[in-house]
Amino acid sequence: MHLDTPLVYVKGVGPFRAEMLEAKGLVTVNDLLHYPPFRYEDRSNLKSIYELAPGEMATVIAEVRSTRMPKMGRRNVGLFEARFGDGSHATLTGKWFHGAYLANVLTEGARVSLYGKVEFDSYSGDMLMMHPEFEMLSADDEDGDASLHTGRVVPIYEAAGKVSPKMMRALMRRVLDGIEPLEDFLPVHLRERLKLVDRWTAVRGIHFPGEDSDLRLLNAFRSPAHLRMILEEFFWLECGLELKRSKAKLEAGIAFQLNEQVREKVKAMLPFKPTGAQKRVLGEIAKDMAEPHPMSRLLQGDVGSGKTLVAAEAAIIAIENGYQVAVLAPTEILAMQHYASFQALFAKLGYLVVPLSGSLKAKEKEKIKRFVEQGAARVVVGTHALLEEGVQFHKLGLAIVDEQHRFGVMQRLKLMEKGEVKPDVLVMTATPIPRTLALTVYGDLDTSVIDEMPPGRKPIKTKHLPESRIEEVWSFVGREVAAGRQAYVVYPVIEESETAGMKAAEKSYLHLRDDVFPQLAVGLLHGKLGQADKETVMADFKAGRIQVLVATTVVEVGVDVPNATVMVIEHAERFGLAQLHQLRGRVGRGGEQSYCILVTERLGETARERVRTMTESNDGFYIAEMDLRLRGPGEFFGTKQSGMPSLRFANIIRDREMLETARGEAQAFIQHPPNEEVLRRAVHYIRDNWQRRYGLVQVG
């Protein structure tokens, strides 16, 4: 048996189980070895039923003697009871609530391993286990090796379809017994300096810990075996990212000239004096653009910090050097907002800015495509329509990608390929990226942060009120509007259904228009409106013709109305932290004091933590860190994004310090390898073993 042996050919697997394992990403023997248990149980306290004592955690191997579903009065409460015996002249009762399904599992005569806390059942006089863990050990069971599942520290795996944790354990044992000791590719000097165990010891120790293993360290993923594999995952990830960065530095790009003409155009465009942070960030971008290799830079800035102005300055550098600029946005409403912003900023410079989106009429789209291909259009702003094969650029020099996490890897590459020479890339995000994600998902990008808000902006005051006090909210909104301000009222899109969110918004709109604010102009905006209708509503709101705008989350990004000072978020408990922060950023864009009011129904523990975070802080980076902790890295952006590495052992939240260590070690190793042979070996290892399993880093 070899590491690349398909699991379908391993004894006891076969096509049926192989398909279930593949759904978990387990295709080869090597994949299986990198599938760690999610917890461990100490089943070494193996006793007969007669020896059990109340209060202890113990393992018992026994036979099912009888089962029943007792009733309370005439009610069936879903309680399943089984009595077990092991020949020691004592019986044990196991009880499971909502356990009706066990009637076909724990049948009389079945041999079972039970693990749980022992109690005394005063009603029957038996020893009792409530909801014990159990595994079938029937005589005809192909995996019925009791010594593997009891009498030791036992690894508990996530099931893969009908491949149970016990089957997984038996399969893991069979694989480990059938392969040669694993070769260790981690550099020797690194293992020695960090005092890491070798790879073969680590893999065996994770799947089948020794008798002297510390259960607390195992379950905290802090055993020597776990620490070794966590560091290894982070090290190879960071090596891959460092190789990608190094390779990019060797690619041919555009060395933009930063001459006096560029500086004069930038000065002429600026509508106001930029902040110190904007100047610093532009300096970083300009320095990159002057280099003869493609720029890959991430521009971070909280909502309202002025990222668009910096992007416009970068665009001027490209345009004045004879190149075109593409601005890619994930939604039509955001694309149109960018189009309006760039058009306004470049009006006095005479640059032609054109929009390109799926909703344009065919004739209009063809006309714009011709402008782009001929080079007349200097800035093209659009959605996925920019990526279509029929869109040809005359001379693409800079690609600005907004909210990159909403695009797949292949989509971004399509845009890059539209230039004769690889264009510079500026990625913008108003979702602050926690450092841990900046080191992984965005680890191949240089990072710039606008950490200063424009002068005159006041921190938004955030309040939380229960739904029962909604009349107070409407009174406050009425007072703000009477003072000449405007307000948003936002409803969530529930379970990815724009229709459900739209209906809630429509119902609220009619109630607010007819019953609460009959004297005010109330508008409605949701995703089902046509693009022309959306633009009309937004134009009316911006001009003040609409005083209260009822909307779904289509206003999350790309809507800029400085006169709006109130953001009411209904059912705020249904939103993630990042979304709440984005919505709050729609107000506070003028000089007046602004407010965000979170209206909630019953709060669960996580929702309560989100609301507390919002009322305590306006700091986007702090909020992003909290969001990452609450939701986990895989769901940080609302959906599992394609750029997120599928780490098996490591966790970027729990293991942040080890990630920092691994990054430093990886950079030192790639930049100053012990010798060329060691580096070549590492590159081959990443490409042949690591790259397929984790699917993030392409090293060529």
| The CATH number, out of the four listed (3.40.50.720, 2.60.120.10, 2.70.180.20, 2.40.50.140), of the domain defined by the range 45-151 | 2.40.50.140
Q: Is 70 exposed, middle or buried (0-12, 13-18, 19+ CB in 10 A)?
A: exposed
**Residue 596: predicted pLDDT:** 95
**Residue 499: predicted pLDDT:** 58
Would you say 209 and 639 are in contact if contact means Cβ atoms under 8 Å apart?
Answer: no
- Cα 588–Cα 405–Cα 22 angle in degrees, nearest 5: 145
Band of the pLDDT at 473, cuts 50, 70, 90?
very high
Q: Kindly report, residue by residue over 526-548, the tens digit of the pLDDT.
A: 877 777 788 888 889 989 999 99
**Residue 492: predicted pLDDT:** 78
pLDDT cut 70: percent of the chain above it: 88
User: In sequence order, what DSSP letters do the residues of 541-562 get, joined into one string?
Assistant: HHTTS-SEEEE-GGGSSS---T
**Residue 700: predicted pLDDT:** 46
Given a cut of 80, is residue 120 above it in pLDDT?
yes
Half-sphere exposure of 587 (CA within 13 A, CB side): 28
User: In sequence order, what DSSP letters do the residues of 350-381 get, joined into one string?
Assistant: T--EEEE-TTS-HHHHHHHHHHHHHT--SEEE
Given a cut of 80, is residue 582 above it in pLDDT?
yes
Q: Is 373 exposed, middle or buried (0-12, 13-18, 19+ CB in 10 A)?
A: middle
Fold of 461-617: Rossmann fold (3.40.50)
The dihedral region occupied by 573, where left means phi > 0, alpha psi between -120 and 50, and beta the remainder, is alpha
Instruction: Determine the distance from the C-alpha atom of residue 267 to the mean position of all C-alpha atoms in its chain, rounded to a whole number.
Output: 39
Residue with tokens 């399904």: 101
Would you say 360 and 308 are in contact if contact means Cβ atoms under 8 Å apart?
Answer: no
The helix or strand, by DSSP H or E, that contains position 479, with its residue range, turns out to be helix 470-482
Domain ranges of the chain: 45-151, 260-450, 461-617
The average pLDDT across 277-286 equals 92
Given a cut of 90, is residue 32 above it in pLDDT?
yes
Within 291-361, residue ranges assigned H as helices are 307-320, 332-346
- Cα 567–Cα 573–Cα 575 angle in degrees, nearest 5: 70
**Residue 471: predicted pLDDT:** 94
Mean residue pLDDT across the chain: 84
Fold of 260-450: Rossmann fold (3.40.50)
Q: Kindly report, residue by residue over 158-190, the tens digit of the pLDDT.
A: 888 888 888 899 899 999 999 999 999 898 889
Would you say 84 and 92 are in contact if contact means Cβ atoms under 8 Å apart?
Answer: yes
Distances (CA, A) of 116 to 43, 169, 361: 9, 19, 67
**Residue 494: predicted pLDDT:** 46
Residue 566 to residue 476: CA distance in whole angstroms:
9
User: In sequence order, what DSSP letters do the residues of 596-634 get, joined into one string?
Assistant: EEEEESS--HHHHHHHHHHHH---HHHHHHHHHHHH-GG
**Residue 690: predicted pLDDT:** 62
Residue 689 to residue 186: CA distance in whole angstroms:
13
Q: Do domains 260-450 and 461-617 have the same CATH topology?
A: yes
User: In the numeric block, which tokens belong to residue 577?
Assistant: 């932290």
Strand 111-120 relative to strand 57-68, pairing? antiparallel
User: In sequence order, what DSSP letters do the residues of 519-545 get, joined into one string?
Assistant: TS-EEEE-TTS-HHHHHHHHHHHHTTS
Q: Kindly report, residue by residue over 382-419, the tens digit of the pLDDT.
A: 888 888 888 889 999 999 988 765 555 566 677 777 77
**Residue 495: predicted pLDDT:** 42
Q: Kindly report, residue by residue over 52-99, the tens digit of the pLDDT.
A: 999 988 888 899 999 998 876 666 668 899 999 998 889 999 999 888
Q: Kindly report, residue by residue over 421-471, the tens digit of the pLDDT.
A: 889 989 888 777 776 677 776 667 788 888 777 776 788 999 999 999 999
Given a cut of 70, is residue 638 above it in pLDDT?
no
Would you say 153 and 206 are in contact if contact means Cβ atoms under 8 Å apart?
Answer: no
For 486, list phi and psi in degrees, rounded to 5: -130, 165
Given a cut of 80, is residue 634 above it in pLDDT?
no
**Residue 140: predicted pLDDT:** 47
Would you say 359 and 531 are in contact if contact means Cβ atoms under 8 Å apart?
Answer: yes
Residue 483 to residue 592: CA distance in whole angstroms:
11
Query: Strands, DSSP E only, in 121-207?
Result: 127-130, 133-136, 153-156
Q: Which residues of 163-176 are buried (b: 16+ CB within 10 A; e: fewer)?
A: bebbbbbbbbebbb
SS3 480: helix
For 421, list phi and psi in degrees, rounded to 5: -110, 150
Q: DSSP assignment, residue 198?
A: P
**Residue 333: predicted pLDDT:** 74
The average pLDDT across 367-387 equals 88
Between the two ends of the chain, the Cα-to-Cα distance in Å is 29
**Residue 217: predicted pLDDT:** 94
User: In the numeric block, which tokens belong to residue 447?
Assistant: 């990072």
Residue 54 to residue 118: CA distance in whole angstroms:
5
412: nearest Cα among 397, 393, 427: 427
The average pLDDT across 564-590 equals 88
Band of the pLDDT at 599, cuts 50, 70, 90?
very high
**Residue 637: predicted pLDDT:** 47
Given a cut of 50, is residue 192 above it in pLDDT?
yes
